[in-house]
Amino acid sequence: MRQRPARHCWPAALAGLLLAGLVVAPGLALADTANPDPQARAAAVRLSGSVLRIEAVSPRGGYALGSGVMVGPDLVVTNCHVTRDSAQVSVVRGGVRWRASAQLADVTHDLCLLQVPGVVAPVVPLAEADVLIGQPVTALGYTGGVDLQHSFGEVVDLHRLGDGSVLQTSNGFNSGASGGGLFDREGRLMGVLTFRLRGAEQHYFAAPAQWVRKLVVQAASAGLQAVQPLDPALLPYWQQQGAQQPRFLRASVLLREQRWGDLAGLARGWLQDDALDGEPWYLLGLALLQLDQPGAARAAMDCALRLQPQRRAALAPPVPATEPATARLAATVACPGAA
């Protein structure tokens, strides 16, 4: 069977996931990319006081560095993979250090909320509006735990997970930026920088502001606990293995290896659970195109666009229309709203 060259590929295997948190590995820089938008540049300068350096010390003397964002009075959010082994966590701004007195951990989503009495930093607002593919965003975080730097980019994909959507962006970030902020042009927090796929462009991922908001509300109602090492058996979603991995991460491996039949099977199983998500329709279309089923591929892509119109930019050049767009898909799931 003739194979078409892949037009959409996540070139890094899931095994190549790199912790964006730093454990004594200086010298990795967050890209300070040029952006002609003066509003975005002004917001980056204004927000610099709200993104703080995190220093975490384990009971055995291990030392981890990361970033955090001021999201409420005395409240700083960061990634749990930065602080998970620590019995002492400090927040640093401008050479002044404050010690965290308590924390609330959402290990599954890799978000830890720190209570830091007396910390002086502006609180950032959390974004309320829906995130859109193609939306401009600014990332701010510490590199090597030393310098706060920024990176301009855009949202390149959204991956639904539970009650939120993981943001995939083109904003480059590296070690030490974990827990930093992803902001819109108005300076609202859209996400928390979390992990990246090694060796891949535009494969940087952030936890959505919706998860942060839930954690802040939970802290107000249920309180926080003492800072201490977290259960090592608990892993965030992106470090899960096998069938426990989110489907969008499993799909990245199949795309890299060009296993189109397996990708089509994964997408169909995904659609059995959630036919209203545009991503599995999009992946099914990619797989069917490579399997020389252009009509069915176009029907799947049309369904992806019906559910997520902003995906249209990713479909150039268009899927060949050799069959009607309503061609019967080789799947057991019908496209919502299809004729």
Q: Which of 189, 187, 144, 151 is nearest to 170 (CA)?
A: 151
Q: How many residues does this entry show for the chain?
A: 339
Binning pLDDT at 50, 70 and 90, where does residue 200 land? low
Name 147's bridge partners.
143
CB 194 within 8 Å of CB 208:
no
Find the mean pLDDT for residues 267-280.
94
φ/ψ of residue 323, rounded to 5: -135, 160
190: tokens are 């859209």
Q: Which of 138, 254, 284, 285 is nearest to 204 (CA)?
A: 138
CB 56 within 8 Å of CB 66:
yes
pLDDT digits (tens, 9 = 90+) for 221-270: 988 999 999 999 999 999 999 899 999 999 988 988 899 999 999 999 99
pLDDT digits (tens, 9 = 90+) for 69-99: 999 999 999 999 999 999 999 999 988 999 9
